[in-house]
Amino acid sequence: MKNGIISAIGAYVLWGLLPVYWKTIQAVPAVEVICHRVVWSFVVVMLLLAVKSQWGWLRQIRKNPATLLTFFGTGALLALNWLTYIWAVSTGHIVDSSLGYFINPLISVLFGMLFLGEHLRPWQWAAILLALGGVTFLTLGYGSFPWIALTLATTFGLYGLLRKTAPLGALDGLVLEMTILFLPALAYLVYIELAGSGSFGHTGAVSGLLTLTGVITAFPLIWFAYGARKVTLATVGILQYIAPTLQFLLGVLVYGEAFEKTRLVGFGAIWTALLIYSIEGVVEGRRKANLLLSTPAQINRRAGRQGQASHDS
């Protein structure tokens, strides 16, 4: 459990600090950064698979070619999410991007109800409605639709939904996604380099940072996948707020992004919704755990009463 918590925290902290990395290469167009991220992530995960000799996912694809369609979808959603996020960071919208990842858990719960037939408990409904009120207030009070936040939350929510129903695990799925995106990304990078507008290979610092995008993409996902298997879902649910909290603090305190009273009210409603959602999840998890623990004793008591009744008759 301890190693799992450390791995999960490590993943979320790195995700939360990534705006610093993207700011360092903000002169590189977001589309080019995404293509480098895909290409170098592909290299990293293929090396990891080679070391682990983990190729069983290829048999799964041969058995069920429809798996490719699912991962074409997840790959497209992941690329759109990355593109939106990196563009937002490089253009001074870190606070807006953090809002997207604050909202994401509630979007995931809503998608579970709409697409997986999951039932929402009353306090979950309250959290979602309160978050919706916060988004509406931001839209009306701030004067613009929070499209960055909602694009990030929706694309990642849909990504999680498809990955939840997909037959491949975290690393195998990431490999397939990067394989699908690899050729288009590489083709674009070759094209812009031949056209003389590419950023790679011209300065050592930028080229090195673009190459390392594969490492900073793959390893947090691996840490997260390891941690998620070792800790409870309730713990993961609470830890996931580390990343957007760090992003928010970086945006306001380090990069000086505006945070007016209107934003404070809207964010406050969403933070309150997340607090309700988190507390409700912890309470419900403990209730279920207590129910499971008490069931054997209850069964024994009922069996004893039935046996006594049979003896008396």
- Name every residue whose Cβ is closer than 8 Å to that of residue 74 and which is 6 or more positions away in sequence: 159, 162, 163, 166, 173, 177
What are the residue ranges spanned by the domains of the chain?
Answer: 2-312
255-280, pLDDT tens digit by residue? 999 888 878 888 899 899 888 888 88
* Tens digit of each residue's pLDDT, the chain (313 residues): 677 788 888 888 999 999 999 999 999 999 999 999 999 999 998 888 888 777 777 887 888 788 888 889 999 999 999 999 999 999 999 999 998 888 888 888 788 888 878 788 888 888 888 988 888 888 877 667 889 999 999 998 888 888 877 777 777 888 889 999 999 999 999 999 999 888 887 777 899 999 999 999 888 877 877 776 677 655 666 777 888 889 999 999 999 998 888 788 888 998 998 888 888 877 887 887 777 776 555 545 655 555 554 455 4
pLDDT of residue 264: 87
Looking at residue 42, what is its pLDDT?
92
Q: Side chain identity at 74, as an amino acid letter?
A: T
User: How much is the pLDDT for 64?
Assistant: 79
pLDDT for 162: 86
Q: 79, 126 in Cβ contact below 8 A?
A: no
Write out pLDDT tens, residues 180-238.
Answer: 999 999 999 999 999 988 888 777 789 999 999 999 988 887 787 777 667 765 566 67
Report CA-CA distances (Å) from 310 to 239, 296, 303, 306.
Answer: 53, 21, 11, 6
Residue 50: CB atoms within 10 A of its CB come to 10
Q: Are 134 and 267 in contact (CB under 8 A)?
A: yes
Instruction: Give the sign of the dihedral formed by CA 287, CA 123, CA 246, CA 157.
Output: positive
Report how far residue 96's alpha carbon sits from residue 147's, in angstroms, rounded to the nearest whole number.
9
CA distances from 277 to 286, 291, 302 (A): 14, 21, 36
Residue matched to tokens 């695990």: 169
**Helix 94-116, helix 66-90: angle, nearest 10:** 150
User: pTM (2 decimals)?
Assistant: 0.81
What pLDDT shows up at residue 192?
A: 95
Those residues with Cβ within 8 angstroms of residue 2's Cβ, 6 or more apart along the chain or in another chain: none
